[in-house]
A and B are shown apart, each in its own frame.
Chain A
Amino acid sequence: ETGVTQTPRHLVMGMTNKKSLKCEQHLGHNAMYWYKQSAKKPLELMFVYSLEERVENNSVPSRFSPECPNSSHLFLHLHTLQPEDSALYLCASSPQTGGDEKLFFGSGTQLSVL
Chain B
Amino acid sequence: RKEVEQDPGPFNVPEGATVAFNCTYSNSASQSFFWYRQDCRKEPKLLMSVYSSGNEDGRFTAQLNRASQYISLLIRDSKLSDSATYLCVVLYSGTYKYIFGTGTRLKVLA
Contacts and interface: CB of A to CB of B under 8 A. Distances in A.
A40 B98 CA distance: 18
B11 interface: no
A101 B91 contact: yes
Interface stretch (A13-21, A41-49, A61-69, A73-81): A41-49
Select the residue from A40, A55, A90, A105 with max chain B CB neighbours within 10 A. A105
Given A56-B96, A56-B97, A103-B89, A90 B102 contact: no
Interface in B81-110: 87, 89, 91, 95-103
Given A40-B102, A42-B4, A42-B103, A105 B96 contact: no
Nearest to A50: B96
Interface string A20-47: 0000000000010100000011110100
A41 B38 CA distance: 13
Main DSSP-derived SS at the A contact region = strand
A103 B44 CA distance: 9
A102 B102 contact: no
Interface in A78-114: 88, 90, 94, 96, 101-108, 110
B42 interface: yes
B103 A96 contact: no
A41 to B, nearest CB: 7
Interface string B69-82: 00000000000000
Given A104-B46, A105-B43, A107-B42, A42 B102 contact: yes
Given A42-B4, A102-B34, A48 B44 contact: no
Nearest to B46: A102
A31 B49 contact: no
A106 B101 contact: no
Contact of B46 (A31, A43, A103): A103
Interface of B: 4, 32, 34, 41-46, 49, 87, 89, 91, 95-103
Given A56-B97, A94-B96, A108-B42, 6 more contacts: A40-B102, A42-B102, A43-B100, A45-B99, A101-B32, A105-B43
